[in-house]
Amino acid sequence: MQTKLVILDRDGTINQDSDDYVKSADEWIALPGALEAIARLNHAGWRVVVASNQSGLGRGLFDVAALNAMHSKMHKLLASAGGRIDAVFYCPHSPEETCNCRKPLPGLFEQIGERYGMDLKGVHTVGDSLRDLQAGAAVGCDTHLVHTGKGEKLMGQTLPANFPPGTLAHADLGEFVDWMLALPDTAVKNKT
């Protein structure tokens, strides 16, 4: 049985984004309906993982203990909503470190493919920015933009030509999940 997997960005997709970075558990605030949306995916048999740039670590704005506290809060709130995230993959580097895991490069997605032993072609990935979608598209993911976080400024507009071909736009994570769960089962089976 092929793993049914969805890859989500974190800041701006699951929780509120901040131009000053989300630096503590207190600053980690779930977007309305996002945790319930993840729970609905889980209940439909989907595994959910997160791929997130966390350059605040590399910039010295917070430490790994603070990041772990943010994720602990996320997991607890998700559990109380009846959902779960299987794993969080994050890039701790600043842009100057020229790593392969900082989105828009595909390193985090390659790590996810290795962890789950699968080709990510056809796996759905959701984010609020171009770089989230470019990273997923580089490994063959089907790309989805949410109009929350950085994606809010594109609400009501045609997506710019530099977005991956075929990118679908949704108001928020809840609307993406509505779309996913309305698909016939054969349309959402991940390809090997």
Count of CB atoms situated within 10 Å of the CB of 180: 21
Residue 128 annotated in active site: no
Residue 11 and residue 18: Cα distance in Å, rounded? 8
Name residues whose C-beta falls within 8 Å of residue 38's C-beta, 6 or more positions apart in sequence. Answer: 8, 14, 48, 78, 81, 83, 84, 85, 173, 177
Calculate the CA 120 to chain-centre distance: 14
Residue 142 annotated in active site: no
Q: Which phi and psi (to 5°) does residue 19 adopt?
A: -65, -20
Candidates 11, 17, 128, 132; catalytic one: 11
Residue 20 and residue 10: Cα distance in Å, rounded? 15
Candidates 9, 17, 128, 172; catalytic one: 9
Structure tokens at 47: 């595994």
User: Is-contact 144 169, C-beta < 8 A?
Assistant: yes
Would you name the residues annotated as active-site residues? 9, 11
